[in-house]
Amino acid sequence: MTLKQLFSTAPVTTLLLISFIGLFIIQLLTGVDANNPSTEQLLNWGANALPYTLGDEPWRLVSSGFLHIGLMHLLFNSFAMYFFGQIAEPMFGSAKFLALFLLAVVGGNVLNNQVTWQAIIDGSGQPGLSAGASGGIMGIGAALLVAAFFKMSVNGMVLNLKSLVLIMGINLVYGFAVPGIDNAGHIGGAITGLIIALPIAWIYRQHEQAQQAAIAEAQMAYQNAVQQSYASHSHNVFVNSNQVIDNNPPLTNIFADNNSQIPVNLTKGAKTAGKESTTIDTDEGNRDSYISHYPTYIDPKSFMPEPAKTSLIEQILPWIVMLIIVIAFVWWWQDIHNQILQILAATEQPIE
């Protein structure tokens, strides 16, 4: 898929990829090492770090999702975003897709900070830093898992649930097997994406069920109309030779005799009483004939139901869920922030 095709299909995915790669190139131009950037350089470019993120720089919860630690990290996350984004964005819509990615990034970073802070309190860990889009990408992957479970489709294709479970499982196992992977960020992003996708998938299934019921009802109505048409036109009418029939409906299958099936030749005759008439001539040996009157064609498209309309509550429900998540993240950040302030205040008290 070319860049132009990707942009037409998934514009937000394209812009995210450009931002990842563009930021990395700018870093290189300013002297950042392509494979082993220093801690100071990563902090300068917005990495997530407990003392800063939970201090006066909460913006690192978002900025760290666009920053990558080395070329291989960038390539891996860019490929995953390309693979997931071109499916998820058309399925969820560009606005919801972008919100899902950003909130999953924040969810992963907040959980990372919570785990790090708890380890510091327990004496089993120390402050560190994290960066990368993997939390957001895991959120997209979890959202696709929900979509596959609810059998949501994109361009007529339904996702394979088993394949997605395998991909997500491999990523989680890899994170625990290889040191230096932000497992909390992956898990936090995945949980966030799953929660956001649930109302979207639920609304989709409700619409699908309503649409299927309407289509079944329309099919029944169409079949009844066809049956009624056949019942009113299925009789045979005996026609004498050279008989003129006025206002006869179009005949789609005419035979002179039901046994020999010799075709009748139709020729336009004279107008009688201002109406166009049709004269039916037969071959010399068949002066009498039968005509089978077939039903008038009924267009099935006229019975097609209108697409199910989305109510206002269905339109805003996913956004309400995301707003609740934002409020929860703010409260969560504030709670850890206050804990840190309390401990710092206690350590600054003079010893008597």
In sequence order, the 6+-apart residues with CB closer than 8 A to the CB of 323 are: none
Quote the CA–CA distance of 255 and 292 in Å, as a whole number.
8
Quote the CA–CA distance of 150 and 145 in Å, as a whole number.
9
Quote the CA–CA distance of 35 and 314 in Å, as a whole number.
46
- Catalytic site includes residue 277: no
- Terminal-to-terminal C-alpha distance of the chain: 70
- Report the SS3 class of residue 9: helix
Quote the CA–CA distance of 167 and 81 in Å, as a whole number.
13
Find, among 305, 51, 88, the residue nearest to 201 by Cα: 88
Q: Provide the 10 A C-beta neighbour count for residue 110.
A: 26
Find, among 80, 76, 202, the residue nearest to 141 by Cα: 80
The one catalytic residue among 134, 153, 233, 337: 134
- Report the SS3 class of residue 246: strand
- Catalytic site includes residue 186: yes
Q: Which amino acid would we find at residue 126? A: Q
The one catalytic residue among 78, 130, 186, 289: 186
Active site residues: 134, 186
